[in-house]
């Protein structure tokens, strides 16, 4: 089930009403069943993977807690990591691994091929795997007590608003909220509905309408001139942002209707003045996950410069690989790692830095950062390295004369409105920002968003981009 579908718009109110009608002690059962139903709507068979992941993480964490020796704890941690990451590897990375294996064997003159596995990538596998891993690691490091109630733990893993595309929550943040006996609150309802409305708007009106234009540009870059290609690349920057931001916002709104506050996953990332800031504002739940479970255990920044650079490089390369089993994602991740290192080098050697205060310097930083991010998206969007290089070549050559790429004026209007709202929302969340506005302005915005969603949403089939991760 996707958020921008009629079944979900029927499912959500039923769940919310039932949730508040039930006694708090039974709510977890209803939410768990609803979450499984939500997931099984897509492919019932793959619920088994979630169940396996849930059971392994639950029991291995209990075992870790029971162990007194570090060795004993490690044994169960490794067991949990091997099974969870093993499932992730098999379903997501086996294809890439097999391809790389064949290529390497070929270099040594050996004709070797691993067996072909025709597996469909389960929706949201990276999200729920990372969420369960964070819990096990927290238990291992003693930051978190192991959960004793399997039902609540299963709900933590599968809570439907954030199950398939995040935000990747931490146990200490989400679980107490799931156990808390929430009462219906007008504030939660109004804020939740505002977020859902805004999320649907940016997914259905912005992302889904930009998608066909981006597809056109990427399907044959050499047919378009540099100006069209640059516009198309800009469109993709906004498509992926509004697609993922839209999904996260609906997730936040849906959870809020149930009294649960999920973490913000985006904070106007395209207004970042440098790459470091960009990653503090983009997919925050993943960035903080890598910070807490990879970067800091590797030594963080309390190490020598060269070791720090290596840590950064590892974190961003892994972050790239997290997105997909393709060399393009690997390069996309390393680009950000390199940019991060270059930024720090410039700061330490030449004192070049950006500022939080709005002014010419910050605006310049925002433009530079947006340009780098937009160009890096080429690797993210391209299905192969050669396609990405074709795009760069076409950008450089500017020989094509095609002028058929003309975005609809209405789409440009809605995109402009979205950009304006994004600027106004700087360091703010839509629901909270809206609640401070006068009644007439609030309702004008609601009316505009409703009209956009109902009359101007994209009609082509555009699944959420991050579902594939």
Partner 1 sequence: MNSLATKILPRLFVLAIIAFLLNWIYSVAFYPSDLKKIDLIDSLQKVIPRSDVIYFGESSNFSFVFEDDDQRRISDFISDYYPGLQFGTVNKGALHAGIYLKLLKQIPTEAPVNTIILSMNLRSFSADWIYSKLESLLQRDMVLISDGPPLWNRFRLGLKAYDNKTQKQRSMQVKNALKKDLLFLEPPCDFPNAVAWIENINNSPTSPWIEDSLAKSLAISFIINYGFRIDTVNNPRIRDFDKIIEYARQRGWKVVLNILPENTQQASLLIGPCLRKLMISNAKLLTKRYESQGAIVVNNLELVDSSHYIDKKWPTEHYDEYGRKMVARQIALAMRNIYPAHFSDVFMKSDFTCDFEAPSPFFVTLGRDSTCSHSGKFAEKLDTNNAFGARFVRHYFEVKTLNPRKITASGWFTGIYRPREVKLIISIENDKKQPKLWTATVSKDIIEYGKWDSLQVNANIPENFGDNDVIRIYFWYTGKNKVWIDDVNILLQTENLNAASDTILLIKN
Site residues, partner 1 (CB under 8 A): 4-6, 9, 184, 186, 189, 204, 208, 443, 446-447, 450-451, 453-459, 461
Closest to partner 1 by CB, 213 or 295: 213
Neighbours of 149 (CB within 10 A): 13
Residue 451 CA to residue 242 CA, distance in Å, equals 18
Residue closer to partner 1, measured from CB, 69 or 460: 460
Q: Which is nearer to partner 1, 147 or 208 (CB)?
A: 208
Of 126 and 457, CB closest to partner 1:
457
Taking the CA atoms of 21, 24, 28 and 29 in sequence, report the sign of the dihedral they define.
negative
Is the Cβ–Cβ distance between 22 and 181 less than 8 Å? no
The answer to whether the Cα torsion of 432, 435, 438, 440 is positive or negative is positive
The rounded distance, in Å, linking the Cα atoms of 151 and 135 is 15
CA distance 341 to 380: 20
- Give least dist CB 459 to partner 1, A: 5
Q: How far is the CB of 131 from partner 1 (least distance, A)?
A: 27
**326 vs 468: CA distance, rounded Å:** 12
Structure token digits, residue 309: 């650079």
Contacts 24+ apart (CB under 8 A), 306-313: 309/341, 312/337, 312/340, 312/341, 313/337, 313/338, 313/341
Question: What CA–CA distance (Å, rounded) separates 411 from 139?
Answer: 48
Q: State in angstroms the smallest separation of the CB of 14 from partner 1.
A: 17
Marked catalytic residue, from 149, 228, 283, 323: 323
| Least Å from the CB of residue 460 to partner 1 | 9
DSSP-assigned beta bridge partners for residue 402? 224
End-to-end CA distance of the chain: 16
Q: How far is the CB of 3 from partner 1 (least distance, A)?
A: 10
Least separation, in Å, of the C-beta of 379 and partner 1? 27
Q: Smallest distance, Å, CB 18 to partner 1?
A: 15
Q: Is 149 a catalytic residue?
A: no
Structure token digits, residue 286: 């993943």
Q: CA angle, 101 as apex, 95 and 105 as ends, to 5°?
A: 150
Nearer to partner 1, 151 or 184 (CB): 184
Find out whether the peptide bond into 167 is cis, omega within 30 degrees of 0.
yes
Q: Please report where in the chains the tokens 């729920």 appear, as a residue.
A: 128
For residue 402, give the 3-state DSSP assignment. strand
CB nearer partner 1, residue 176 or residue 184 = 184
Phi then psi for residue 328, to 5 deg, are: -60, -40
Nearer to partner 1, 194 or 344 (CB): 194
Active site residues: 323
């Amino acid at each position: 089930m996707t958020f921008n579908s009629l079944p979900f718009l029927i499912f959500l109110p039923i769940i919310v009403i039932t949730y508040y009608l039930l006694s708090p002690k039974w709510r977890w059962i209803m939410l768990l069943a609803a979450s499984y139903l939500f997931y099984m709507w897509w492919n019932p068979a793959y619920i088994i993977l979630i169940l396996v992941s849930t059971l392994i993480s639950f029991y291995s964490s209990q075992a870790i807690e029971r162990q007194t020796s570090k060795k004993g704890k490690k044994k169960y941690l490794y067991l949990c990591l091997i099974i969870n990451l093993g499932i992730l590897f098999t379903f997501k990375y086996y294809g890439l691994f097999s391809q790389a294996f064949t290529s390497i064997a070929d270099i040594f003159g050996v004709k070797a091929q691993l067996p072909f596995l025709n597996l469909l990538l389960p929706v949201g596998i990276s999200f729920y795997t990372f969420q369960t891993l964070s819990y096990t690691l927290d238990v291992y490091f003693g930051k978190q007590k192991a959960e004793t109630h399997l039902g609540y733990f299963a709900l933590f893993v599968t809570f439907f608003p954030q199950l398939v595309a995040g935000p990747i929550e931490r146990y200490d943040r989400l679980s107490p909220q799931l156990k808390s006996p929430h009462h219906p609150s007008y504030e939660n309802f109004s804020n939740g509905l505002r977020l859902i409305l805004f999320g649907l708007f940016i997914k259905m009106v912005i992302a889904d309408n930009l998608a066909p234009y981006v597809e056109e540009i990427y399907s044959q870059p050499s047919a378009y001139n540099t100006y069209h290609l640059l516009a198309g690349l800009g469109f993709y920057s906004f498509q992926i942002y509004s697609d993922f931001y839209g999904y996260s916002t609906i997730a936040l709104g849906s959870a809020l209707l149930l009294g649960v506050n999920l973490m913000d996953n985006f904070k106007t990332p395209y207004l970042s003045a440098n790459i470091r800031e960009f990653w503090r504002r983009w997919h925050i739940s993943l960035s903080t996950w890598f910070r807490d479970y990879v970067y800091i255990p590797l030594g963080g920044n309390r190490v020598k410069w060269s070791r720090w650079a290596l840590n950064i490089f590892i974190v961003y390369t892994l972050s790239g690989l997290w997105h997909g089993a393709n060399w393009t994602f690997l390069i996309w991740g390393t680009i950000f790692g390199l940019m991060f290192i270059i930024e720090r080098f410039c700061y330490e050697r030449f004192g070049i830095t950006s500022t939080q205060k709005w002014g010419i310097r910050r605006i310049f930083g925002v433009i530079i950062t947006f340009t780098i991010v937009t160009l890096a998206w080429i690797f993210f969007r391209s299905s192969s390295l050669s396609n990405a290089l074709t795009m760069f070549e076409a950008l450089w050559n500017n020989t094509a004369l095609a002028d058929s790429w003309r975005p609809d004026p209405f789409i440009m209007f809605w995109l402009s409105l979205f950009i304006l709202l994004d600027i106004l929302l700087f360091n703010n969340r839509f629901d909270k920002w809206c609640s401070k506005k006068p009644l007439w302005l609030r309702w004008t915005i609601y009316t505009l968003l409703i009209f956009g969603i109902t009359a101007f949403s994209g009609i082509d089939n555009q699944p959420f981009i991050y579902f594939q991760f």
